[in-house]
Amino acid sequence: MQRRLVGVLMACNILCGACATYTSIAPSLAPTSGTVRLSMNDAGRSETLGGLGAQVTTVEGEVRSVSDSAVTIAVTEVSHVSSDAEPYHGEAVTIPSRYIGAIEQKRVQVARSLLIAGAILGGAIWIGTQGHGDVTSRAPGGPPIGGQ
């Protein structure tokens, strides 16, 4: 039972917490699908971008469409100048290209993810094999500390 639990936890870790990086791409190479992060330029930070509000620094989400004049994105996270990142639930927002300073595409690093998962699994197996003796939560049966 415990081995299955460890296996399930490892699989969840690989799927949910895979190593990913953002790689800068040219605006002309903006993907028509996938996760991207759009960094706003000075003009974009000074504008109110639909339901995202003003002073937006970055917008992260799934690309819905790309044209010469705008990018439509299903927003999953927004960062503002004076606050932490806020999660969003896939609301589609169209951002004019003139407000975008940089585009970064999310890429999962499969080799690194598998290496980390293997190290965690190896550590869990090693810890499991080191369990010698009786491990319980009851008090030891020796004399009290301090001779009392």
Taking only the tens place, the pLDDT of each residue in 100-121 is: 998 888 777 667 767 777 778 7
- Is the pLDDT reported for residue 13 higher than 60? no
Q: Break the chain into its structural domains and give their ranges.
A: 1-19+109-124, 21-107
- Is the pLDDT reported for residue 31 higher than 70? no
Average pLDDT (50-75) is: 88
Closest by CA position to 89, among listed 51, 48, 39:
51
Q: Please write the tens of the pLDDT for every residue from 85-94.
A: 888 888 899 9
Computed over every residue of the chain, the mean pLDDT equals 77
Residue in the block written with tokens 């605006």: 27
Which CATH class name applies to 21-107? mainly beta
Please indicate, yes or no, whether the overall pTM of this predicted structure exceeds 0.75.
no
